[in-house]
Every structure is written in C-alpha cells, then in structure tokens.
Structure 1
Amino acid sequence: MKRSLFVFLSLLLLVSLPLQASSRIDSLRVWPAPDHTRLVFDLSGPVQHRVFMLDNPSRLVIDISNARLNTQFSNSGLESTPISRIRSAVRNQNDLRVVLDLSRNVQPRSFLLRPNEQYGHRLVVDLVMPEQARVQQAPPRETLPREQRRIIVAIDPGHGGEDPGAIGPGGTREKDVVWAISRELARQIDADPAFEAVLTRTGDYYIGLRQRVEVARKARADLFLSIHADAYRSPQPRGSSVYVLSQRGASSESARWLADSENRADLIGGVEGVLTLGDKDETLAGVLVDLSMTATLSESLKAGSRVLRNMGQINRLHKRDVEQAGFLVLKSPDMPSMLIEAGFISNPQEEQRLRDRAYQRQMATQIASAIKDYFRDNPPPNTVLASQNNGSETRYVIQRGDTLSEIARRNGVDIGELRKANNLNNDVIRVGQTLRIPSS
C-alpha cells in the first residue's frame, strides 16, 4: 500500500512540474545597408544558437535551440540583400532551423541583445559583404588640383535601422528626424562649390559609432557633425545644444547623462573596437594623440560656438555655451568634431517642431550657414576658400552677452594675445565692435 502511494505521488509530482518553456520567434526584421544586411529575430526569451555556411548552393544555416516559430517569414523586401529566400523547419522536435538561400558570398556574424526600452530579447545576424564595403568606402568624386580642393564636411545622422534612438511622446523617432535634417544639411553644403558633404550612412540602417568616425576619416573630412535630437527622463527640458569632446569629464550632469546614453547605442553593433595609431609605439602614439586632441578640441569649440549661436536664432538654447562630455563618436584626434542636439524630442512642443519639414529645413540652414562662416574665417590649407582669402585675417563682431574671455575661449586663443592684437588695455568691449582674432 505504501509503495503504491509513493509511486502515485511521484507520478503526480512529475506531472505537476512545468515543462521547459520554449522561446518564441515573434517577428523578423531585415535592414539592408551598403556593406551588410542585418536580420533581427524578435524573441520571447533568451536562446542558444549557432550559425554556419553551406556551399553549392550557398546557404547560411541558423540553428536555434528550444524555439518555435510564431510568425511567417516573408521573402518580400529582400531585393537589396544577398538573400534570395528564407526557409525554416522544425529540427529534433524542439529546435528550429532557419536557412537563408544566398545570391553572393557573405561573412556572417551573430550575437544576442538583451531587452531595452523599445525591444525584448533579440538574435541579430549580420551578413557582411567585404567587396561591397570596399566599393562604398571609396565613392568616385570629382578631383580638383591639390591647392583647390573642396572642404569636406562629414554629416552623421544618429542612430538608424534597428536603433530608433529616442522616441517622443507622440511616437516620433529620433532616427527619422535627424535623417531629414542631415539630408537637407548635406544638400545645402553641396550647393556651395567650395564644400562637399559626406554622409556616414545613406539610408535607414545601423552602423557602429567607431565606423561612423572611420567613414569620415577615410573621406579626409575637415569637420565631423553628428546630428541628434535630445531626450531626457522628464518632458520639461527643451532647447538646442552643441557638445564637443571632454578629456577631463563632463561639463554638467546632463552632459554626462547624455553621453552615457548615446555611447550605449554602440551595444547594438555587437562588436567592440578602438581607434588606433597602429604604426606607432604606445608612448609615441599617446603623445601624438594628446597634442592633436588639444588643437582639434580648440577648433571644435570655435566651430561649435558658431553653430550654437545660429541655432539660437530659431530655437531656445538649452545651454548658452558649448558643453563637453566623453562622447565616443567625437573621439577622433585628427578632425574637429561636434554633436548637435537639434532639440528635445521628449518635450511634446519641441517634438512637434522637430517633425515639421519647414523647421527641419530652417535648422539645416542655420547649421550650414555657421559651418560655412567658420571655414571662411578658418580655411584649411590648399582649399578653394584658402586661395580666395589670400591670407586675410579672422575677424569677429561682438554680439550682446559676449565677454572677452569667452571670445578667447571659443576661438582657442590666449586672452592676452587677443588684447594685444586689438590694442586693448582691459577687458571692456562693446556690442558691434570688431575684433581681430590672432591665429591659435
């Protein structure tokens, strides 16, 4: 009797134990880019997986353990990708096998992403096309004599693809706003024969923060602009901002918070990397970077101040001065760089303005005007503007609220040199007065 009762209770216990729940694949999103295609599987929970290639014909196999399909894989939308067809089948009763039929050679990589504010668990599979990447990194451009080259402005629309950036209370996505502003900005820059714009991404896809900088460096850009739309934990903050890199910590708590938020976006790339000076020994590389960064930061502040002042003509400024923080995307020692926050997308009123096409054009116009004015006063050697300037010196007309120390800081010059260049005995200046700015 006791043995029968024991067997009964054991069976009852086994029946009551929950079976291991399988994860669901709820959807698949495909993001084509010039040099890769990204597939994102939305999951109900974490999974284990492996990927491997098969030849004759070329296929990529994705095995996902203890998973079931809860959606339909459509073969539409694959026109700009190396994928000709997507198939799936149950494997070993509990696992799922996904097969991608390929039309060209790819180098696959895969990784898992944890849940964030927008998405749950995700399996990301990238199909990298190395040959295509080389073509995209060297676009044909009209060449000018060396002493007559154009000034190249790299424009970086933040986020993209799998990474929507901040989302406003009305559902406006940061990646859409900054893409519209960046395209218009590039159009206005290209309209001037002395300038040329280079976009770090040319569509709605994600590239890593370091890769954005590499695109600009390979184009030999004279200036790097990363365009964003700010967000904060509460809806009250508003206004436009400009940030440059800080080597000594953030200039404010909000700048530190924003830099941390933007830097976390690189987790979506799934890879780590650093900018290096690979042909130099470690000590020499450190000295070169320090020296170069000092000059680069000075020029970043000068250009950023002009952009900030221009944006203040059409929108409230969040802070009157250029702020500084450790933005990963600004860490290039050989190129002045700034991050422009067009406004707070988390503020309902500012969200409405940011999504307005006319306002986007106005914002692009103010930024373009500031950049052109900066380079007319500070033309790089061997450029069209440098030959037009014929060595004319930089001048600045004092605006309301300016101080001599702030003008010196923005232009990266010593205040004593600024006084000497303008025969000033003290720091008293007046609105409308024109100052000569000595070379920094």
Structure 2
Amino acid sequence: MPRPPLLRTTPLGSARRRTILKAGGTLLLSVLGPLPAQAAQILAVRVWPADDYTRVTLENDGDLKATHFMVPNPPRLVVDIDGLALNDTLKGLVAKIESNDPYIKQVRVGQNRPNVVRLVFDLKEEVKPQVFTLPPVAGYHNRLIFDLYPLTPADPLAALIQQRDWTTGDAPPAPDALGTIARQDGGEAPAMPVPPMTQAPRPTLAPTPAPSAAPAGLPKVTRMVTIALDPGHGGEDPGATGGTGVHEKDIVLEIARRLKAKLEGMPNTRVLLTRDADYFVPLGTRVDKARKVQADLFVSIHADAFVERTARGSSVFVLSEKGATSSAARWLANDQNKADLIGGVNLANHDRQLASVLLDLSTTAQISDSLKLGKAVLSEIGGINKLHRGIVEQAGFAVLKAPDIPSILVETAFISNPEEEARLKDDGYKDQLADAITKGIRRYFAANPPMAKSRMA
C-alpha cells in the first residue's frame, strides 16, 4: 500500500511560513498603529517655602523634560512637562501651597494635551525661576525641581540691620568674654582691646581713645560682633535619620535657634542663621552668607550618623589642607560634602569658580584661629557629653572654607546611636548644648578679641 505524501519540512517550507507570519504581523501593526510609550508617573510632590526662595519638587519614575515661560500682569510661571500623565499625586500639589508662601499664591494643574501636563503657578510677585532635573541619589528617584527666586536676592546684612535687636541692654558687659564693647544705643562705653593680628587682614577703623583701665599701647575698636550659625542640611536634604525617624535637619535647627538666643544675650552681638526654616541651602551659599555679613565666627551644627550604631560622643572639626586627622573624620567630611548632591543644586548656575577660590584662599591663619575656637568649644561640650575624641579634628569640610572667618563644625552627638538620639530629642539636652557652645565662644573671645573692621551698621 503506498504511503501518503509527507509534509514538506524543507527550508523552502520554513521560509514560506516566516513570510506569511511577517506579513500578518505587519498587517496587525498597520491596523493597531504604534504602541504608545508608557507615561512617567509622579511619585511624590514637595514644597519648601522660604524667604530666600521657594522650591517645588516633583519626584518621578522617569526622566522628565520640561519647558517654562513667564506671563506678566498678573505674574505667572507656566510649565509644560512632556511624557507625563496626570495622577492624584500630582493633583495633590494644589493643596501643598501654603498661604504664607512668599512667592506662590496658588498652582493649577491640568492635562494640557496627550502626554503633556501643564502647571500654572500664580505668583505674588515676579520671580526668576530655575527649572532643572536631578538624577536618582540617596533614596530619591528622578526629581524635577522648580526654584523660584525673587528678582532682588535677599541681603543677609540688610536683614541683620533691620532686626535691630542685637542686644537688649539688659545683659551686663562680660569682661571675661567679650571685653567691654561700645553699646549700640550710642551710650558711652570703653572700647575693646585688639591683640596683634592673627587673622586675614580686614579694613580698620581709626583707633578710639583708650580708657585708663585698658592695657597700654594697644589700639581700641568699637563695633558689633557678628556670628554666623549654620544648621546643617534642610529641605530636600534631611541629613542623618535616627532609629525613631527623627531627622538631623530638624534637631540642628532647634539647637541653632536656642544658641542664637543665648548669643544675642551677650552685649553687642548679632547672629545670622544661614537657614531659619526647613529649606535647603547649598554649601557655598552658606559660606557666602557669612562672608557678606563679615562674620567674626562661623559655627556649623550637625548631629551625624556613622556606619556603626555604637559610635557615640561629641566632636568639633576645623578645616584641613593636608588631609583628615582620622579615617572617621575623612568619612564624615565626605558624607557632609554630599549635601549639594542630595539637597539638589542647579549645576547650570552653580558657581564652581567660587568654590575653587575659597579652597585656594584657605589660609594657615584661618585654620589656626579655628583651632583655638574649636578647643574652647570642645572643652565646654566635654562637660555635658562624652567626647568622641579628646582633640579637635581636621578634615576637608566644604562648609568650613571661608578664607577669612574662623570656622568650626560641631557634631553634637551621633543620631545613629539610640542613646544619643534620645538625648538629642530632649529639650533639656539641646539647651545644655547651646549653653556649652556659648561658653566656648565667650572663652575664645576672652583670649582672642575680634579685630577692627569697617563699621557695617
């Protein structure tokens, strides 16, 4: 009996089947059209209002592209974001705008056209917007940032002068700390003796007549003392986080506020906070603010974490030009110097030249005076908490690079240590820290009275 013919399994048959399948697939695609790209999703929205500027952050799961333009009368900022679908998280931006925001009145959000979302910021005044993106870092996904700056930037010196509450007049002179400085209210007071110059030179005033009780042969100066306090981190940069969820940025701001009040209780002393609320300030801007007010001292306040939860104790750091004094100091400096990456700096407008100049101008005299200040403060802090090491350490902290201002960074305690985290959350301990730093500053000025400089107010 003859066999039935076999099915063709030759290469010719395979090629024919592939041709038929390809033709069918092409027909299907021509009917359905190209598959649309998946739109990015907004994961979180955050708003950080401040006098310096207001920041709006859209955290998303993709790389967004945005265009923006300003509309006058009334002032508005219009932003179109490509490749984005409107979702409930983005709609929630409307409720995030607070009535006391210095620059934003309200925001409107809508789907302008397919895959394009439009944001309209109704403004309280004209602004200079910066719109930029940030890549994923430190637990954040991609971020689209809107920074709304005033047309005329805030002047930290003008803000200090406007306060006019630098001394209450109730605090008696403290000869063991600041000497006797002329009162701001114009009353007669002896001038402060000025020792031989050890810092970078500054413009000097004509010497005033010396009182009979003062050491002979030294010029006298009457002026305000200005101290810059720098609460670390802020805004998009929470700093270290303790086991109970408390953020370093919140703890150090509370300590700085307490310290500011105590320092302003000293005669003829005024204090600048590099940030007075929860917003991010780039490292170079912190230094620049201190220099604009010709600060006599710069004190940066932190409560850092370490890889080992057992690490504990307070520390004081100053700048080093020759490397860190310990591996832990190097680790902490590297960690703190990441603040601009985490907090978010617009690289297109970042003043890299300024950062380079500050590094180049850091002088031996500044570091020498910083060490004196650091030793005085560390000695006082040692009376309320265990010291991580019994010496002032040195490392390349970017925030300490003002070339003409004695600068220290105080690690109040390790927030990663459960016991020290509990102390940092305690109001009594925060007050003790502020007292200790104040006493250290008074001790420093007793041995190193501030030098003459041009009167600013």
Tell me which of 412, 433, 438 is aligned to 1:363: 433
The residue aligned with 2:144 is 123
The residue aligned with 1:8 is 24
Pairing 1:246–2:284 present: no
Pairing 1:261–2:281 present: no
* Pairs within 5 Å for 1:226-237: 226-237=300-311
Tell me which of 102, 113, 126 is aligned to 1:105: 126
The residue aligned with 1:44 is 61
The residue aligned with 1:80 is 101
Further displaced range: 67-76 or 191-200:
67-76
Tell me which of 36, 39, 42 is aligned to 1:22: 39
TM-score of the superposed pair, with normalisation by structure 1: 0.79
How far is the alpha carbon of 1:135 from its aligned partner? 7.2
TM-score of the superposed pair, with normalisation by structure 2: 0.76
Tell me which of 293, 316, 324 is aligned to 1:219: 293
Distance 1:195 1:309 in 2: 22
Distance 1:90 1:135 in 2: 41
Distance 2:332 2:236 in 1: 20
Q: Which runs of 5+ in 2 are unaligned?
A: 1-15, 165-183, 187-204, 206-220
Distance 1:302 1:12 in 2: 79
The residue aligned with 1:321 is 391
Deviations 1:235-265 (CA, angstroms, capped at 9, x unpaired) = 1211111111111111111111111111111
Distance 1:177 1:219 in 2: 25
Secondary structure of the residue aligned to 1:74 is helix
Task: Provide closer, same or farther for how the CA distance between residues 92 and 139 of structure 1 changes in structure 2, counting only shifts above 3 A.
Answer: same
How many equivalent pairs are there? 375
Distance 1:206 1:81 in 2: 16
The 8 Å contact of residues 35 and 136 in structure 1, kept in 2 or not, is answered as no
Tell me which of 179, 186, 207 is aligned to 2:281: 207
The 8 Å contact of residues 284 and 355 in structure 2, kept in 1 or not, is answered as no
The 8 Å contact of residues 34 and 136 in structure 1, kept in 2 or not, is answered as no
The residue aligned with 2:264 is 190
Mark the structure with the bigger radius of gyration: 2
How far is the alpha carbon of 1:81 from its aligned partner? 2.8
Tell me which of 262, 267, 270 is aligned to 2:346: 270
Distance 2:33 2:251 in 1: 53
Distance 2:359 2:86 in 1: 51
Distance 1:136 1:353 in 2: 35
Letter of the 1:65 partner, please give it.
Answer: D
Task: Provide closer, same or farther for how the CA distance between residues 328 and 137 of structure 1 changes in structure 2, counting only shifts above 3 A.
Answer: farther
How far is the alpha carbon of 1:150 from its aligned partner? 2.6
Distance 1:274 1:22 in 2: 35
Task: Provide closer, same or farther for how the CA distance between residues 41 and 199 of structure 1 changes in structure 2, counting only shifts above 3 A.
Answer: same
How far is the alpha carbon of 1:79 from its aligned partner? 2.6
Task: Provide closer, same or farther for how the CA distance between residues 204 and 102 of structure 1 changes in structure 2, counting only shifts above 3 A.
Answer: same
How far is the alpha carbon of 1:297 from its aligned partner? 0.5
Letter of the 2:77 partner, please give it.
Answer: L
How far is the alpha carbon of 1:134 from its aligned partner? 3.5
Q: Which runs of 5+ in 1 are unaligned?
A: 384-440
How far is the alpha carbon of 1:223 from its aligned partner? 0.6
Task: Provide closer, same or farther for how the CA distance between residues 330 and 120 of structure 1 changes in structure 2, counting only shifts above 3 A.
Answer: same
The residue aligned with 2:192 is none
Q: Alpha carbon RMSD of aligned pairs, Å? A: 2.7
Deviations 1:25-44 (CA, angstroms, capped at 9, x unpaired) = 23321111112111111212
Secondary structure of the residue aligned to 2:412 is strand
How far is the alpha carbon of 1:13 from its aligned partner? 8.2
The 8 Å contact of residues 231 and 252 in structure 2, kept in 1 or not, is answered as yes
Distance 1:107 1:136 in 2: 22
Distance 1:18 1:240 in 2: 59
Aligned-residue identity in percent: 42
Distance 1:135 1:208 in 2: 15
